[in-house]
Amino acid sequence: MKKDAKAGFATRAIHAGMRKDTVYGALTAPIYQTSTFIFKDCEQGARRFTCQEEGFIYSRLGNPTLMMLEDKIANLEGAEAGLCFSSGMGAISSVFWTILKAGDHVVADSVLYGCTFALLSHGLARYGVETTFVDTRDLAALKKAIKPNTKMVYVETPANPTLKIVDLDAIAKLVKGVNKDIMCVVDNTFATPYLQRPIELGFDVTVHSTTKYINGHGDVIAGAACGKLDFITQVRLFGQKDMTGSVLGPQEAFLILRGLKTLQIRMERHCATAMEVAAYLDKHPKVEKVHFPGLKTHDGYEIAQKQMSGPGGMISFEVKGGRKAGAQLLDNLELCSLAVSLGDAETLIEHPASMTHSTYTAEELKEAGIPEGLVRFSVGLEDAADIIADLEQGFTHVK
């Protein structure tokens, strides 16, 4: 589309990927609520199945509403192609099934979303795929972990839940230097393509839980993957079509298209409010440590400055007194909701060790450097003063 070619991020978030409705001229994306598509004749059906003719066949293989969303996300990520899924885990598992087979090896960072960690350590392990978990900030350790049968390097940055930052450019250079065929895959959920575009930094694939900031309104579970057209086509026609069947519905795609129109202004607000909240927490006498890439004291601050255009809206922190003190805070907040998930208009707060990361054993949490008492905070779009006032009253309950 001409409108997309050199336009800015906000413009592309609204216009990229959209097709004109030539029948009625609808402004927004029509919801093609259909499982299947009628062929003119047998010849056409056969041509579509052999990819000799473009067009839709069956909504597990593609759907016009999804196509607009897929093209939009790919455009925002600076990728050749994108693909949507019925959850972030659907995206991650479909990508894994496409890249990996029995006998292969993965190097993954030790700090990952709990279910991704479980998929690698418990799930794929059952099918003969071995994973070595390392701290990928340590490039020497990463290099040492790569084996002749390594097929994928997998990281999150900022990572869930510690907000650890890893250097995408340095990792891609190192891995490709050892073996250019190793796929570098990153979960870009926390940053979104507005703040960070890993493909421009040498990564092959980005995956997302679009449940989070990309949709942004807490009303959809969905995922996405972006990369080279060849690879994304393999994911579409194997990882997703045959292995996971994790297909997004057109209604959800419509909601995400709607959410994406405001991604830039939402992210700017999330970042600004998170800066204020992090500064407040950093000075609080009952807080032991704040993990936020926008604070100069964060060990990933310099890398975040280099590879992200803002710190994001996620903060984690440790309350003095550990898990018990953290629970006293969480149980007494009124505006902030005690709930998992993130990236919504509503501020959400949770305890990773007992909730999102309960797939890690106590020992694995320790090895990964995820503190038992860590509290994770998804800063919403409310007024910063109201969020801080709620924390202030919550802290009075911490004894």
Q: At what angle do helices 263-283 and 384-395 cross, to 10 degrees?
A: 30
Q: Interacting stretch for ligand LCS, rule CB under 6 A, among 16-24, 52-60, 96-104, 110-118?
A: 110-118
With CB atoms as reference, the residue minimizing the distance to ligand LCS is: 88
The pairing of beta strand 223-227 with beta strand 105-109? unpaired
CB 355 within 8 A of CB 340: yes
Q: Is 330 in the site for ligand LCS (CB under 6 A)?
A: no
Nearer to ligand LCS, 187 or 318 (CB): 187
Choice among 47, 60, 143, 258 that is catalytic: 60
Q: Which two tokens stand for residue 191?
A: 């940053």
The pairing of beta strand 337-338 with beta strand 348-350? parallel
Reduce the DSSP state of residue 354 to 3 states and report it. helix
Q: Is 84 in the site for ligand LCS (CB under 6 A)?
A: no
Q: Is 93 in the site for ligand LCS (CB under 6 A)?
A: no
187 is catalytic: yes
Strands (DSSP E) found in the chain:
81-85, 105-109, 130-134, 150-156, 183-187, 205-209, 223-227, 287-291, 314-319, 337-338, 348-350, 374-378
282 is catalytic: no
Shortest Cβ 116–ligand LCS spacing (Å):
6
CB 239 within 8 A of CB 229: no
Choice among 104, 109, 167, 187 that is catalytic: 187
Q: Interacting stretch for ligand LCS, rule CB under 6 A, among 81-89, 195-203, 224-232, 276-284?
A: 81-89
Q: Is 221 in the site for ligand LCS (CB under 6 A)?
A: yes
113 is catalytic: yes
Choice among 113, 154, 194, 360 that is catalytic: 113
Backbone φ, ψ for residue 348 (5° rounding): -120, 145
Chosen residue from 17, 62, 82, 88 binding ligand LCS by CB under 6 A: 88
204 is catalytic: no
Rounded Cα distance between 331 and 349, Å, is 10
Nearer to ligand LCS, 231 or 377 (CB): 377
Q: Is 209 in the site for ligand LCS (CB under 6 A)?
A: yes
Q: Is 342 in the site for ligand LCS (CB under 6 A)?
A: yes
* DSSP state for residue 58 in the 8-state scheme: B
Reduce the DSSP state of residue 291 to 3 states and report it. strand
* Binding letters toward ligand LCS, positions 150-189, x by CB under 6 A: ------x---x--------------------------x-x
Q: Interacting stretch for ligand LCS, rule CB under 6 A, among 20-28, 326-334, 339-347, 358-366?
A: 339-347
Chosen residue from 341, 346, 384, 397 binding ligand LCS by CB under 6 A: 341
Strands (DSSP E) found in 130-267:
130-134, 150-156, 183-187, 205-209, 223-227
The pairing of beta strand 374-378 with beta strand 223-227? unpaired
Chosen residue from 13, 89, 145, 336 binding ligand LCS by CB under 6 A: 89
Of 299, 223, 216, residue with least CA distance to 263: 216
Q: Which two tokens stand for residue 313?
A: 């809206």
Q: Is 139 in the site for ligand LCS (CB under 6 A)?
A: no
Choice among 12, 212, 236, 376 that is catalytic: 212
Nearer to ligand LCS, 160 or 347 (CB): 160
SS3 content of the chain, % helix, strand, coil (to 5): 45, 15, 40
- Which spans of this chain sit near ligand LCS (rule: CB under 6 A)? 87-89, 113, 115-116, 156, 160, 187, 189, 209, 211, 221, 223, 340-342, 356
Q: Please list the active-site residues.
A: 60, 113, 187, 212
